[in-house]
Amino acid sequence: MRILVIGGGGREHAIAKALTKNVAVEKIWVAPGNGGTEAFCENVPIAATDLEGVLGFCKKNHPDFVVVTPDDPLALGMVDLLEDNEFACFGPTREAAKLEWSKNYAKEFMAKYNIPTASYVLCKDSGEAKEYVKTCPIPIVLKADGLAQGKGVVVAQTREETVRGCDQLTSKGDQPILFEEMLTGPEVSVLCFTDGKTIVPMPAAQDHKRAFDGDKGPNTGGMGAYSPVSVYTSAMAERCMEEIFRPTVDGMVKEGHPFKGVLYFSLMLTPDGPKVIEYNSRFGDPETQAVIPLLNSDLLNIMLATRNGKLDRAKVKFLDNCSACVVMASAGYPGSYEKGKVIVGVEEAGKYGTVYHAGTARRGDNALITSGGRVLCVSSLGRSLRQALRNCYKGVGAIKFEGAFYRSDIGSKDAGAKEE
Ligand code: AMP
Ligand code: GLY
């Protein structure tokens, strides 16, 4: 079997690596891939958003299966285009992925199907939003209606911050702004395989979105994750299935857009029960790099079963271990940063876990260099979260590149909770 994976992040590296475990896999292409996928796949220089480029590649090379994981190509309808051309894909259609790419659609959907989420007010343009900020309740959360790569949300504690946040979100063109009630409580990400009928949740993960220790600094794509999460008990998992996962998956069938792929529930466990912060229509990054190493079944078989509506027959088992990953980023990320710094110590780090590459590339002389903001992550397993984290940080300590930074407190709030 020959597979094309779309994307070039740590998530795609982790997915491609897990796919190689199936003996039927003869070849994996990754478009565009990174310095890590290059070692065992063929990187294809086509951007993940280049729908025509990907279709052209498929017509020429006939992959048996295409795995589409980044948000942009899903929102652009890559799965629809490829499936229309008879290329089997893992991932939701554009209309199913709307749960992620339109926050307003997701909010209306949740209201219709009685799925718990923060209450909200929608301002349809910047004029309305600028008027509303003068009197809205404080604190409040502002969200731009569309994909914003983690930069479309402002959590405002004061009126001043609210006004500034509104200016920031409306500065890049007029767009609807959602004002949401601010929820409190621990956050968890639950990624579920679903074929539109069966729902198989993966162990819950926690991301660390802020750039610096102590949840300080700007929001990023995610600086590290761990799994499982102790506050997400089996009783909570049952409750989320009943109140959130099942109504969402059934609701999408009723809407005429059954969701097939990975549906990622970003949840806040509030004093009033679990509530949806947002939906993502795909695997998370870096949650995937923490969760996929726990998978003790064949990822390709699960993905094929999901695509073919037979997830009820697939074996999906996870190890009873703890897992964590710690991201190393370029100085300046998530703002501007320099590229081209030589990375050393990746092999040494491999003694303590798996190094998943993201913003890496090979220079002409074959040296591994930085080529992005989130450069790579070290992902490790352990019998306890503490042990997993110890392994991650040993690995991180072995890797050096100029300007490297990482958070030193990934999982620390939970690490005492599950003893070795
Ligand atoms: P999102 O991009 O929607 O996941 O939001 C980014 C982050 O903003 C989340 O991980 C939360 O920490 C925070 N956030 C989003 N919505 C809310 C809300 N209604 N209440 C409190 N925090 C929120
Ligand atoms: N880690 C957050 C995301 O994948 O959206």
For residue 60, is it within any domain? Answer: yes
Co-location of 302 and 235 in the same domain = yes
- Give residue-wise pLDDT tens across range 75-92: 999 999 999 999 999 999
pLDDT (tens digit, 9 = 90+) per residue, 315-341? Answer: 999 999 999 999 999 999 999 999 999
Pair (238, 146) in one structural domain: no
Q: Would you state the pLDDT for residue 307? A: 98
| Residue 172 and residue 132 share a domain | yes
For ligand 2, atom 3, the nearest C-alpha belongs to 284
Does pLDDT of 108 surpass 80?
Answer: yes
CA distance 148 to 270: 25
Q: Is 151 or 110 the better-scoring residue by pLDDT?
A: 110
Q: 136-145, pLDDT tens digit by residue?
A: 999 999 998 7
pLDDT tier at 419, thresholds 50, 70, 90: very low
We report the CATH number of the domain holding residue 140 as 3.30.1490.20
Residue 175 binned pLDDT confidence (cut-offs 50, 70, 90): confident
405 part of a folded domain: no
pLDDT of residue 298: 98
- Same domain? For 190 and 154 the reply is no
Q: Flag whether pLDDT at 310 surpasses 90.
A: yes
Q: Which ligand is nearest to the CA of 146?
A: 1
Least confident of 33-47, 73-87, 151-165, 343-357: 151-165
Q: pLDDT value at position 237?
A: 98
Ligand 1, atom 10, residue with closest C-alpha? 209
Q: Is position 410 within any domain? A: no
Judge if 223 and 161 occupy the same domain.
Answer: no
pLDDT at 105 over 60: yes
Whether residue 271 is found in the same domain as residue 245: yes
Q: Are residues 135 and 200 in the same domain?
A: no
Domain end marker among 281, 313, 345: 313
Distance 320 CA to ligand 2 centre (A): 24
7 lines ligand 2 (CB under 6 A): no
Cβ of residue 100 lying under 6 Å from some atom of ligand 2: no
For position 417, what pLDDT does the model report? 54
Domain end marker among 74, 90, 106? 90
pLDDT reading at 93 higher than 50: yes
Number of residues assigned to the chain: 420
* Rounded distance from Cα 143 to ligand 2 centre (Å): 16
Number of domains present in the structure of the chain: 4
Q: Specify the ligand 2 atom closest to the Cα of 222.
A: 1
Using the predicted structure, report yes or no on whether residue 40 has a pLDDT greater than 80: yes
Q: What is the pLDDT of residue 420?
A: 46
Would you say the CB of residue 278 lies under 6 angstroms from ligand 2? no
Q: Are strands 273-280 and 261-270 parallel, antiparallel or unpaired?
A: antiparallel
415 in a structural domain: no
User: Does 412 reside within a domain?
Assistant: no
Check pLDDT > 90 for residue 192: yes
Ligand 1 site, CB within 6 A: 118, 141, 150, 153, 155, 180, 182-183, 187, 209, 266, 277-278
Last residue of a domain, one of 260, 279, 313: 313
CATH of the domain at 7: 3.40.50.20
Assess whether 329 and 255 both reside in one domain: no
The CATH number linked to 329 is 3.90.600.10
Structural domain contains residue 413: no
149 pLDDT higher than 70: no
Q: What pLDDT is recorded for position 418? A: 47
**Do 308 and 350 belong to one domain?**
no
- Domain extent, residue 209, equals 186-313
| Cα–Cα distance for residue pair 120/345, rounded to 1 Å | 48
Are both 66 and 146 inside the same structural domain? no
Q: Calculate what percentage of the chain has a pLDDT beyond 90.
A: 88
pLDDT of residue 151: 60
Mean pLDDT of the 237-249 span: 98
pLDDT at 150 over 80: no
- pLDDT tens per residue, range 286-295: 999 999 999 9
* Confidence at residue 148, expressed as pLDDT on a 0 to 100 scale: 61
SS (H, E, C) the chain: CEEEEEECCHHHHHHHHHHCCCCCCCEEEEEECCCCHHHCCEECCCCCCCHHHHHHHHHHHCCCEEEECCHHHHHHCHHHHHHHCCCCEECCCHHHHHHHHCHHHHHHHHHHCCCCECCEEEECCHHHHHHHCCCCCCCEEEEECCCCCCCCEEEECCHHHHHHHHHHHHCCCCCCEEEEECCCCCEEEEEEEECCCCEEECCCEEECCEEEHHHEEEECCCCEEEECCCCCCHHHHHHHHHHHHHHHHHHHHHCCCCCCEEEEEEEEEECCEEEEEEEECCCCCCHHHHHHHHECCCHHHHHHHHHCCCHHHCCCCECCCEEEEEEEECCCCCCCCCCCCECECHHHHCCCCEEEECCEEECCCCCEEECCCEEEEEEEEECCHHHHHHHHHHHHHHCECCCCECCCCCCCCCCCCCCC
Q: Is the pLDDT of residue 72 over 80?
A: yes
CATH code for the domain of 299: 3.30.470.20
Do 217 and 296 share a domain, yes or no? yes
Residue from 104, 155, 177, 280 whose mutation best tests the ligand 1 pocket (most atoms within 8 A of CB): 155
What does the mean pLDDT of the chain come to? 95
User: Do both 79 and 158 map to the same domain?
Assistant: no
Lowest mean pLDDT among 151-160, 177-186, 252-261, 329-338: 151-160
